[in-house]
Amino acid sequence: MQTMTDRHDLATPTLLEASQMSQLEPNAPILRIIGKAPLSGHVPISGAKNSILALMAGTLLSSEGCRIRNVPYLADVQRMGDILETLGVKISRNGEVLDLDTSNLTTNSAPYELVSKMRASFFALGSLLARLGSARMPLPGGCAIGARPVELHVRGLQALGADVQIEHGIVIAHAKSRNGRLQGARIYLDCPSVGATETLMMAATLTEGETIIENAAQEPEVVDLANLCRAMGAKIRGAGTNTIFIDGVDKLHFADFTAIPDRIEAGTFMVAAAITRSTLSMSPVVPWHLTAAISKLQDIGVTVRQDSDNMITVIGGDRYRAVDIETLPYPGFPTDMQAQFMALLTVCEGNGVVTETVFENRLQHVAELNRMGANIRLKNNVAVVTGVPQLSGAPVMATDLRASAALVIAGLAADGETTVMGLHHLDRGYDRIEEKLRNVGAKLYRTTANVTVS
Ligand code: EPZ
């Protein structure tokens, strides 16, 4: 636990360069990290953000409501709740339990100002359309990591018998059949899109007939959503494989459902243990959700021990060797752990080649890591990371959710102080990450930047 003395170390003003201050809102929060503190202990893992957001969209399929457990405290969960409430859903939260009353949807139209802030809300298009027979959903637009198109969602809904038009940035969809129901179809996805698989699987649960989704995403979060829908009475087979079969039913019912733990949060803490050469245990986890990350850590020279069916321990080592990483759809190496692993590669001996194949602009953390003394050369979607003996603390700006996590990880290992700006990215996807890190010995805390321009 952090002592007062430690806190005093952090009391000196933060020297930020003028160029960085100009990018900050007045009194914007920053995270101050004094690096090289050894970590030890146990980290609790929260529910999976990328499951919860889809599960919340799935609750629209039934008029009987839903209870979701293991819900983390995240900005994105709050935003998804706001969007559902504008649709007429009544939500109450008690700790990590969310109760959603979906009995009285008051509109089929989600507001642009909310959807544009949290693209996963677009996944509600499928469930809203299946429940009401029509839906209006703003196009989510791109984000820092890519254009994030949704044509696979749109084409799939058209295959299910929906008329889908895009007018003035709004997707307007309605079931063409007289009874307002969608019709089962065979759908092939050009790429195994997680969101498109989830949107179409939800829509298909209430169609007439059978739907087959080929080249479907196999991520654990897709399986979790399928399990929620099945708990509500849907007939789904094959989730977790590349072909999902859905037999439409007339109605779905209430379900009390517990979300899976967050494999990306767990992976982030695994890398934090490795880069600080510490020993950290974490639970709950589903070890086989982490196979790719565990394999890469072991190749690097990190020890990973499975203590039970829901707990693992990561034991950092003295010398690490560089490895190559290529991001791929599950069960390949997850793009959501690419930035975090790149931070680790910066202090591995040799050259590691990181290829980002899923998103077109998910390497913005390279420039910030290089500010901390890393040696990374970037060409298009390939980064060559040449290991250095030590990173050095610096003021850095987060550009997206997983880049912010990578910068925190780098700061934990760097010599001296690192200040991470752009914390709104971090807060989207990590539940109390500072508290969890401080509880295992990290020296960091959130403050606002003193306007001491060097
Ligand atoms: C989900 O996003 C996750 N978000 C992302 O996590 C994750 O990185 C991504 O899946 C890949 O695993 C949520 O689940 C809320 P995709 P999603 O559709 O569904 C292209 C994080 O950090 N594509 O699988 O939007 C797309 O451009 C976030 O937690 C199309 O071309 O991802 C991308 O290149 C970031 N057309 C690729 O597919 C479409 O219609 C994979 O995207 C849809 C997608």
Identify the residue whose C-alpha is closest to ligand 1 atom 7.
Answer: 336
Asked whether 50 lines ligand 1 (CB < 6 A), one says yes
Report the DSSP beta bridge partners of residue 237: 245
Q: What is the DSSP string of 254-302?
A: -EEEEPPB-HHHHHHHHHHHHHTT-EEEEES--GGGGHHHHHHHHHHT-
Q: What is the pLDDT of residues 237-246, one digit of tens each?
A: 999 999 999 9
Tokens, residue 14: 């933060």
pLDDT of amino acid 335: 98
Ligand 1: centre distance to CA 8 (Å): 42
Residue 181: pLDDT band (50, 70, 90) is: very high
Class of domain 4-46+261-448: alpha beta
Report the DSSP beta bridge partners of residue 415: 392
Contact 349, 388 (CB under 8 A): no
Q: What is d(CA 350, CA 322) in angstroms, rounded to the nearest whole number?
A: 5
CA 339 to chain centre: 12
**With b meaning 16 or more CB within 10 Å and e meaning fewer, what string describes 317-329?**
eeebebbebbbeb
Q: What is the pLDDT of residues 348-401, one digit of tens each?
A: 999 999 999 999 999 999 999 999 999 999 999 999 999 999 999 999 999 999
Q: Dihedral, CA atoms, 391, 392, 393, 395, nearest 10 degrees?
A: -100
Asked whether 148 lines ligand 1 (CB < 6 A), one says yes
CA 313 to chain centre: 22
Q: What is d(CA 435, CA 424) in angstroms, rounded to the nearest whole number?
A: 16
Ligand 1: centre distance to CA 44 (Å): 26
- The mean per-residue pLDDT over the stretch 420-426 comes to 94
- Ligand 1 atom with the shortest distance to the CA of 148: 27
Q: What is d(CA 423, CA 93) in angstroms, rounded to the nearest whole number?
A: 24
Task: Say whether pLDDT at 430 is over 50.
Answer: yes
Cis geometry, peptide bond prior to residue 331 (ω within 30 degrees of 0): yes
Task: Say whether pLDDT at 259 is over 90.
Answer: yes
- Ligand 1 atom with the shortest distance to the CA of 401: 22
Residue 21: pLDDT band (50, 70, 90) is: low
Q: What is the pLDDT of residues 195-225, one digit of tens each?
A: 999 999 999 999 999 999 999 999 999 999 9
Residues of the chain with CATH 3.65.10.10: 4-46+261-448, 49-258
Report the DSSP beta bridge partners of residue 69: 97, 258
Indicate the range of 229-238, 362-371, 422-431, 444-453 predicted with least confidence: 444-453
pLDDT of amino acid 6: 43
- Ligand 1 atom with the shortest distance to the CA of 429: 29
Residue 407: pLDDT band (50, 70, 90) is: very high
3-state secondary structure of 441: coil
Asked whether 149 lines ligand 1 (CB < 6 A), one says yes
Q: What is d(CA 161, CA 173) in angstroms, rounded to the nearest whole number?
A: 10
Q: What is the pLDDT of residues 274-302, one digit of tens each?
A: 999 999 999 999 999 999 999 999 999 99
Q: What is d(CA 58, CA 63) in angstroms, rounded to the nearest whole number?
A: 11
pLDDT of amino acid 7: 41
Length of the chain as a residue count: 454
Ligand 1: centre distance to CA 115 (Å): 15
pLDDT of amino acid 124: 94
Task: Say whether pLDDT at 347 is over 80.
Answer: yes
pLDDT of amino acid 149: 87
Identify the residue whose C-alpha is closest to ligand 1 atom 14.
Answer: 50
Q: What is the pLDDT of residues 5-18, one digit of tens each?
A: 344 344 444 445 55
Class of domain 49-258: alpha beta
Task: Say whether pLDDT at 448 is over 70.
Answer: yes
Q: Which of 78, 52, 82 is nearest to 67 (CA)?
A: 52
Tokens, residue 81: 């709740």
The residue from 66, 143, 191, 348 that is catalytic is 143
- Ligand 1 atom with the shortest distance to the CA of 217: 24
- Ligand 1 atom with the shortest distance to the CA of 145: 35
The Cα-based distances of 270 to 265, 337, 408 in angstroms read 9, 11, 13
Q: What is d(CA 378, CA 364) in angstroms, rounded to the nearest whole number?
A: 10
Contact 295, 288 (CB under 8 A): no
3-state secondary structure of 112: helix
Query: Cβ neighbours of residue 253 under 8 Å, at least 6 residues apart?
Result: 62, 64, 232, 233
Q: What is d(CA 295, CA 196) in angstroms, rounded to the nearest whole number?
A: 28
Ligand 1: centre distance to CA 194 (Å): 6
Asked whether 196 lines ligand 1 (CB < 6 A), one says yes
Ligand 1: centre distance to CA 293 (Å): 19
Residue bearing tokens 């819900």: 71
Q: What is the pLDDT of residues 57-85, one digit of tens each?
A: 999 999 999 999 999 999 999 999 999 99
**With b meaning 16 or more CB within 10 Å and e meaning fewer, what string describes 403-423?**
bbbbbbbbbbbbeebbbbbbb
Tokens, residue 422: 């752009």
- Our answer to whether residue 191 is catalytic in this structure is no
Q: What is d(CA 343, CA 99) in angstroms, rounded to the nearest whole number?
A: 38
pLDDT of amino acid 314: 98
Contact 357, 381 (CB under 8 A): yes
Query: Mean pLDDT across the chain, nearest whole number?
Result: 93
Ligand 1: centre distance to CA 329 (Å): 10
Q: What is the pLDDT of residues 92-133, one digit of tens each?
A: 999 999 999 999 999 999 998 888 888 888 999 999 999 999
| Helix, strand, coil tally for the chain in percent (to 5) | 35, 30, 35
pLDDT of amino acid 143: 79
- The mean per-residue pLDDT over the stretch 187-199 comes to 98
